[in-house]
Structure 1
Amino acid sequence: MLPHSSPAMDTSDDLTLSAPAADAAAPATTRVGLSDIREAIARVEAEAKASCAAESRASAEARARALAEERAALD
């Protein structure tokens, strides 16, 4: 988890990640901008919200169908 920004923290706009390459002795380095990370997080959050909304709608529709069936059975 990334720490929250505070005035005392370094607020540089990019992050360097290093990982060993499978076929190289020296590690490969990838620069990832914080704005790219923020955009990725926003996309995942939007997808999660849409998924939850769809699940909630499906659940509400199933509940409405079940209630309609119970009502029909009582009539």
Structure 2
Amino acid sequence: MTATVWAFWRYQAARVEFDDDGIVEHSAFGARRMRWEDIKSVTKDDYVTVVHGAHGKIRFWNTIAFADELRAEVERRCV
């Protein structure tokens, strides 16, 4: 039971979404938004993509369902 509750909480607490305004990272510590115009660069390795902004970073695993779509949206809006 404990592992199931932890897995559900972790899934809910670790989301990355994007909309017309920017990227929103949901974590155990709350939501953090990065506006498209604040993005300075994007780096990627085999496991993680990092979006670097004027006031911090948003990281997401390359294995999330829409990683390619999110990277394409960042490139489209920030070039």
TM-score by length of 2: 0.25
Larger radius of gyration: 1
**Going by fraction, where is helix more abundant, 1 or 2?**
1
**TM-score, structure 1 as length reference:** 0.26
- Higher strand residue share: 2
